[in-house]
Amino acid sequence: MGLSIIQVDAFTDKPFAGNPAAVCVLPAPADEHWMQAIAMEMNLSETAFLYPLEDGFSLRWFTPTVEVPLCGHATLASAHVLWSEGHLSADADARFHTKSGLLIGQKQGDWIQLDFPINHSELMSSHPELSQALGVPLKTVMKNSLGYLVEVDSEDLVRRMKPNFSQLRALSLAAVIVTSLADQDSPFDFVSRFFGPGFGIDEDPVTGAAHCCLAPFWRDRLGKDDFSAYQASARGGVLRVRHQGDRVYISGQAVTVMRGDLV
């Protein structure tokens, strides 16, 4: 029998929604070319690889084409696997040593809270090429270390936009977060979508890392620290988001959908 690999749907409480991630718990460090090949084989937006350390786990994330410095949904999936597969007791924190520093997951009933670094954005001037690629008028354009952050006028625009991915790939930044206030009768504060063709992902179903940017953006506009957010992809996902100092606490649910063996 080879190494176990588990597929988890993150930011959802039911299978076949949220964002799928593959999680592989290794006994020791592995060759990064092998990990990239596995991620390409899995062909999910992210595959996570962990191995135990003295005070937690090393964690790395790979899209089908590149390694990324931060991934929220695959961290949520990794924490879920550590608890559900018996690598950690339910009352122990999940401590992840990553390229974005120490990330901590805590089990809170049916939810998992993740502690992430905040990602501030800088205002940009108008960007006609970006507006053309997204196919909608842009209210605000900003940029951060993840990519562009774009505000549009309505939830309806967020939900029905159909970007030109060839044009998005030609832009200088690899990804675009699109967001708006949620509709007045919505249970959510804001909605978003995430397009990452530069990372090998045309649209990511639910993106924890994007909410490290969205939390300070909406805090500045709404004057509060706690949010209920919905990522309006075809699969959809629900996140609880809290802005606190230089950290963003992102909470979600997760469910295991598949187990297999690497041979």
Q: Return the active site residues.
A: 46
Residue 100's contacts (CB-CB under 8 Å, 6 or more residues apart) are: 69, 70, 116, 117
Give 128's strand partners.
none
Round to the nearest angstrom and report the end-to-end CA distance of the chain. Answer: 7
Q: Which helix (H) or strand (E) holds 76?
A: helix 72-84
Residue 188's contacts (CB-CB under 8 Å, 6 or more residues apart) are: 182, 228, 229, 230, 238
Query: For the chain, what's the residue count?
Result: 263
Burial class (CB in 10 A: 0-12, 13-18, 19+), 199: buried
User: Is residue 173 within 8 Å of residue 159, measured between CB atoms?
Assistant: no
Interatomic CA distance for residues 92 and 31, integer angstroms: 29
